[in-house]
Amino acid sequence: MTSGTTWTAGETSDPELACPIAPVVDMVFSRWTTPILWTLNEFGRLRFVELSRRITTITPKVLTQRLRQLERDGLVIRTYHAEVPPRVEYEISELGRSLAPLFAALAEWTAVNLEKVERARQDHDGRERVGGRRN
């Protein structure tokens, strides 16, 4: 690893100390966080309805919960416009935008490696069917 961090095993039973990126992984890669941040980064400021139309499989309740958490974490900015009817817009914050290189690296890794992962899964599943389940 870079930045002077080394991987060590067995030094602690606290998962956050054993893996210092665990809190960030939990925050950024929870079920709906990545699609929300990706969508806001790609399309800019969106109203709730526009965001839910772009992420069609998320329920309004879950979208509301995730947006509140992302706002709390400083990754999304919620802007309320006191109009009739009221209008609320969401946009990715500078802090959220700072994740763009990470997402770009993951997109690149996906393009290069996802097919390899699928082949490995197929090979593994084929061996399990032929030889029975291994421990």
Residues 75 and 122 in one domain: no
Residues 85 and 25 in one domain: yes
* Residue numbers of the domain that contains 67: 15-93
Q: Can you list the pairs that 71-76 forms with residues at least 24 positions away whose Cβ atoms lie under 8 Å? A: 73/27, 75/33, 75/37, 75/99, 76/36, 76/37, 76/40
pLDDT, position 19: 86
69 located within any domain: yes
26 located within any domain: yes
Provide the number of structural domains found in the chain. Answer: 2
Examine the pLDDT at 52 and tell me if it is beyond 80.
yes
pLDDT, position 22: 85
CA distance 35 to 55: 7
Q: What is the DSSP letter of 6?
A: -
Mean pLDDT to the nearest integer, 111-115 = 96
Tokens of 40: 């806001």
Mean pLDDT, rounded, of the chain = 86
pLDDT digits (tens, 9 = 90+) for 60-94: 999 999 999 999 999 999 999 999 999 999 999 99
65 located within any domain: yes
43 located within any domain: yes
CA distance 38 to 135: 38
pLDDT digits (tens, 9 = 90+) for 32-41: 999 999 999 9
pLDDT, position 21: 85
Tokens of 66: 């995730």
Contact indicator for 40, 76 with CB cutoff of 8 Å: yes
Residues 50 and 26 in one domain: yes
The model's confidence at residue 27, banded by pLDDT at 50, 70 and 90, is: confident
Q: What is the DSSP letter of 87?
A: E
Residues 131 and 112 in one domain: yes
Examine the pLDDT at 18 and tell me if it is beyond 60.
yes
Residues 87 and 22 in one domain: yes
Q: Which of 97, 99, 80 is nearest to 44 (CA)?
A: 97
